[in-house]
């Protein structure tokens, strides 16, 4: 079974540019989550999809961040325009609904310069 | 507002000895607690969990203890092995299944 795949693994962009991160969850997993770890601090929740619907987006920092999950399969997280404080590692995770079945991807390391 | 805290950023332990990682939380609505392990350039990997109705859960070399009155949990690894060197994250969740993580503890197992 393939795991959670994230692309790209690294991205370096200039302040003001746009970046789109992609996450392919484990096939059949209805629940998809985005998390972010900034500057070696705690991993923080961004949002939760159930299929194509946003179940909880209370962790999204501001309206420069837009997440989509068309068709309930892969998800994208767009940052537009990027700011310096957006730098960090963005993790995606998926599950079939039970909490201990949460599987994380390897993350996308975003650096805004 | 950080609801889960790991106050020790690092821990160094001799191979074969016990590693004890600590975690404190503030939200009394949390009812499920987990430990994740993370190697460099990889995502967190689930290690062990415990629900609030228990005070201990054991899985091989890993045991998690929960003290609800103190809002404290700990992870014991015994015996520690070189492959256990990683960052360990404590996480907690309520009914919404959203995880709140601590900042992590970097464990180094010395040969």
CB burial of A56-73 (b: ≥16 within 10 Å; e: otherwise) equals beebbeeeebebebeeee
Predicted confidence (pLDDT) per residue in B3-13, tens digit: 999 999 999 99
Cβ contacts below 8 Å, chain A against chain B, sum to 57
Residue (of A30, A59, A62, A29) closest to A47 by Cα position: A59
- The reported pLDDT for the residue numbered A98 is 57
**What residue of B is the nearest CA neighbor of A31?**
B97
The SS3 of residue A101 is helix
Least trusted range by pLDDT, from A1-5, B16-20, B55-59: A1-5
Residue from A7, A32, A89, A99 to probe the interface with B (highest B Cβ count within 10 Å):
A99
Residues of chain B in contact with residue A91, where contact means CB-CB under 8 angstroms, are: 43-44
A100: nearest CB among B34, B42, B43: B34
Nearest-CA distance B14 → chain A (Å): 25
- Please give the full DSSP string across A19-67, using - where no structure is assigned: EEEEEE--TT--EEEEEEE-TT--EEEEEEEETTEEEE-TT--STTEEE
Instruction: Tally Cβ neighbours within 10 Å of residue B68.
Output: 16
Q: Do A104 and B43 touch (CB under 8 A)?
A: yes
Q: Do A4 and B43 touch (CB under 8 A)?
A: yes
Instruction: Identify which has the larger pLDDT, B30 or A96.
Output: B30
Tally of CA atoms within 13 A in the half-sphere of A63 that contains its CB: 0
Residue B98 pLDDT > 90, yes or no? Answer: no
Written as tens digits, the pLDDT of chain A (113 aa) is 679 999 999 999 999 999 999 999 999 899 999 999 998 789 999 999 999 999 999 999 999 999 999 888 999 999 999 999 999 999 999 988 656 568 999 999 999 99
Chain centroid to CA B101: 10
């Amino acid at each position: 079974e393939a795991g959670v795949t994230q692309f790209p693994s690294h991205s370096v962009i200039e302040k003001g540019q746009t970046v789109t991160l992609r996450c392919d969850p484990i096939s059949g997993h209805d629940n998809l989550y985005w998390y972010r770890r900034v500057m070696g601090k705690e991993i923080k929740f961004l949002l939760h999809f159930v299929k194509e619907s946003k179940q909880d987006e209370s962790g999204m920092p501001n309206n420069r961040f837009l997440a989509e999950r068309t068709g309930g399969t892969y998800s994208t997280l767009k940052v537009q325009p990027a700011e310096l404080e957006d730098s960090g590692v963005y993790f995606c995770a998926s599950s079939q609904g039970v909490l201990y079945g949460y599987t994380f991807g390897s993350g996308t390391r975003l650096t805004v310069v | 507002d950080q609801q889960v805290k790991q106050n020790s950023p690092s821990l160094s332990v001799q191979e074969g000895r016990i590693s004890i990682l600590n975690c404190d939380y503030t939200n009394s609505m949390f009812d499920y607690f987990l430990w994740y392990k993370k190697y460099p350039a990889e995502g967190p990997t689930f290690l062990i969990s415990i629900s609030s109705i228990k005070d201990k859960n054991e899985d091989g070399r890993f045991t998690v203890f929960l003290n609800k009155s103190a809002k404290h949990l700990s992870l014991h690894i015994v015996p520690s092995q070189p492959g256990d060197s990683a960052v360990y994250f404590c996480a907690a969740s309520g009914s919404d299944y959203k995880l709140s993580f601590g900042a992590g503890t970097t464990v180094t197992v010395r040969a």
